[in-house]
Structures are given as structure tokens and as C-alpha cells.
A and B are shown apart, each in its own frame.
Chain A
């Protein structure tokens, strides 16, 4: 079974600073997707960014970028110029082709003024 590990239960960052959230996964598949989802206090699940395993280029969405290391099975999320609205629970998730979606246990991001 695939596993997704987020080793940081909680992280803190100050406004305008940069923070990196870690994620590692275990799989024997070569073709898969990785995702970062954000869950604010409203509980809504919001997709932040996704990465296709066959693409070597790291995905970027505005202030959010990933460091995808396929051989190391690592998928970290970097948030630049952190804003108060970034405060949320962040989940890393893995999905092999046409199959289940497995989530990590989440990292709570706290943003201070």
C-alpha cells in the first residue's frame, strides 16, 4: 500500500517570509500524480498545486512551488511571501493512475503578523 508522510505536524512562519512543508511518499509505481491541498478553518479542501511524476519540471502556481525529487520520493511545498490567508492545514496527497488518492496526516501552518 502506498503511504504519504508529512513529518511536520505544525509549522510557523511570519508574514512575507518563506516556508517549506515536507512530504515523502512510498510507491513502486512510475506513473502517478502528487498534490498539495489546503484546508482553511472553513474545512473546504482547496487544491494548491499538482505535479505529474513524468514531468521533471517542478510545478509552480504564483507564490506556491514544489521541489519534486522522484528518486528520493520527496515532494515539498514552498510558500513564498507568506500571507495571513495562507494559515491552514496542508495535506500532501498521492494518486497512481486511475486509482485511489492517499493523503498524508497534514501540516498545520501558522502565519504571524
Chain B
């Protein structure tokens, strides 16, 4: 089944404890992206990647890192999480940037 998977789906952590949210797609898509969703703000793009080893900042990249070493994986790294990073995170992929983006199920992150 073609899909985008994210792990973990739920995470509660404490300020400053490094964490990684994994994202994987099995559709051989070139484009992958991370978004965060906050009440009243919609979805905002954090980082995106046009292809392997190519990443670019979105609208809200501060406090996040990404890497794209393999086509299928695009992990989101929070080196030192803070409470303002408590949010619902979505990973998405598409064959190319303008195509329909397929979204993962979301990761609910709480930073205490």
C-alpha cells in the first residue's frame, strides 16, 4: 500500500531532550516536506526537500533540522525542544513539488 508513515504518532518529552520524528514514503517520491499545525494558524511548512541531499527552509524552520540521505526517508530533528514546539506535525511527499502531496498520519508532540 502506497503511504507515508511517521513515528512516533504521539510523544511527550521535556525541554531540551533531543528527539527525532521519522518519516518514510514507499512511493519513490522526489519531494518531501514537514509541516506543523497549530490551532488558528493552519499548517505551516518547516522544511522541504526536492531530492536526496537537497533541503530548503520553509516558513518556520527555527529550532528544527532535517536530512535527506535516502530518497524514502526525511527525519525531523529537534535538537533542543522547547514548549513552543508543542504541535501536530505532518510529513508529506509528492512525485514533484507541484503535484498532490500525500500526507502522513501526523505526530502529536508535547514538550513540557
**A-B complex is real:** yes
CA distance A91 to B90 in the complex (A): 14
**Does the CB pair B97–A97 fall under 8 Å?**
yes
**Interface residues, chain B, CB within 8 Å of chain A?**
33, 35, 40-45, 48, 50, 58-59, 88, 90, 92, 96-98, 100-101, 103, 105-106
Q: Which of B40, B43, B90, B100 has the most CB of A within 10 A?
A: B43
**Does the CB pair B45–A91 fall under 8 Å?**
no
Choice from B42, B50, B98 contacting A103 with Cβ under 8 Å: B42
6 residue pairs of the A-B complex, CB under 8 angstroms, read A33-B98, A43-B106, A97-B97, A98-B50, A105-B40, A105-B41
Considering the complex of A and B, which 8 residue pairs feature the smallest CB-CB distances, nearest first? A45-B103, A105-B42, A103-B43, A103-B42, A98-B97, A47-B100, A43-B106, A33-B98
**Does the CB pair B97–A44 fall under 8 Å?**
no
A112 to chain B, nearest CB (A): 23
A22 to chain B, nearest CB (A): 15
Please give me the residue from chain A that is nearest to B98 by CB atom.
Answer: A33
CA distance A49 to B58 in the complex (A): 23
**Does the CB pair A91–B105 fall under 8 Å?**
no
**Does the CB pair A101–B45 fall under 8 Å?**
yes
**Does the CB pair A91–B42 fall under 8 Å?**
yes
Contacts of B45 in A (CB 8 A): 100-102
Using A43-B105, A105-B41 as known contacts, say yes or no to A98 and B58 having CB atoms under 8 A apart.
no
Using A43-B88, A105-B41, A106-B42 as known contacts, say yes or no to A99 and B97 having CB atoms under 8 A apart.
yes
